[in-house]
Amino acid sequence: MLNIQSHVSLKPYNTFRIDAHARYLVEINHADDINTLLQLTDFVGLPKLILGGGSNVLLCHDFDGLVIKMNIQGIDVIREDDDHIYLVAGAGVNWHELVQFCVQQGYAGMENLALIPGTVGAAPLQNIGAYGVELEQVFESLTAVHTQTGERRTFSHADCQFGYRESVFKRELKSHYIITSVTFQLNKRPTFHTRYGAIQETLTEMGVSEDKLSIKAISDAVIRIRRSKLPDPAQIGNAGSFFKNPEIPKTQFDTLKEQFAELPGYPIGDEAVKVPAGWLIEQAGWKGHRVGDAGVHSKQALVLVNYGNATGQELLNLARQVRDSVQEKFGIAITPEVNVV
């Protein structure tokens, strides 16, 4: 039986720790619960907000609708072949716990994605990524339920139309489906990704030589890097990286490089360059900046933080000031990867 609560504070359900309220909240523990919910006439036509770990959302207002908290658990190996292991995980499974499970079992491919906050069901929405690896590289398929008809559908890799922090679920199918499980294709023989960020340097500090490299070593290195740079949401409210790293034409990058010699960039083919948004924000003078309880983190300018009682609107106002400042200084538009509600 569904436990539907009314007038619920969402502070425990979002990592920014914003004290917004929901008209209704229901926790989903099994895919069949969604079909039961959709048959309840009291909620037909109400706005719906799907929450996993609440680590990619900024609540700027009370939500006058139904918040659906996804708690579906379970990690199961479903098949394997000579090269791959296929496993399915429930939408409510903690992402980092899934990564650690795969590392412990020797299933390769997810190790660079360690310690990303959130849940499995939310991961495909924005094609989460870190340190040179994106979810789509280990993604096989997902199952989802249509929010109006209750129809269950399997989405292939191609169906999801993955891009940089993008998928069809953030565009054409936004709010049309509730993801219930994701199937992953992991590798029996690892391909190590150590060139992005400080991974190689950290491995050296850890005393891991090339002949001792393993997926656990890479996972440990990523965890060490993230803990040194990013605030723990349990200690200070945040949603990790607030902005996407912008992709700009190579011609624009070359022009900016003449003016800002230290400007870093990562080529994307021959025509575009990805620029670290954190560097742009820091150079614009925002690192460590604070307005009341809303601030830019002192160690990583890409992260906005709630020092206590900031409202979502205060954090959004700060984000807009940061965005406008970067645009004015560099002529580069930065956009949030966090879902603003």
Q: Could you list the active site residues? A: 165, 241, 337
Rounded to whole angstroms, how far apart are CA atoms 275 and 280? 8
Q: Strand 84-90 vs strand 75-80: parallel, antiparallel, or unpaired?
A: antiparallel
Q: Are strands 63-70 and 48-51 parallel, antiparallel or unpaired?
A: parallel
Contact, 49 vs 67, CB < 8 A? Answer: yes
> Strand pairing partners for 4?
26
Whether the Cβ atoms of residue 246 and residue 322 lie closer than 8 Å to each other = no
Please list, in sequence order, all residues whose beta carbon lies within 8 angstroms of the beta carbon of residue 325, skipping any fewer than 6 positions away: 284, 285, 286
Is 175 within 8 Å of 202 (Cβ atoms)?
no
Q: Which of 52, 86, 55 is nearest to 72 (CA)?
A: 52
3-state secondary structure (DSSP) of residue 36: helix
Give CA–CA dist 122/103, Å, rounded: 21
Q: Is 207 left (phi over 0), alpha (psi -120 to 50) or beta?
A: left
Q: For residue 246, give both structure tokens.
A: 């912008």
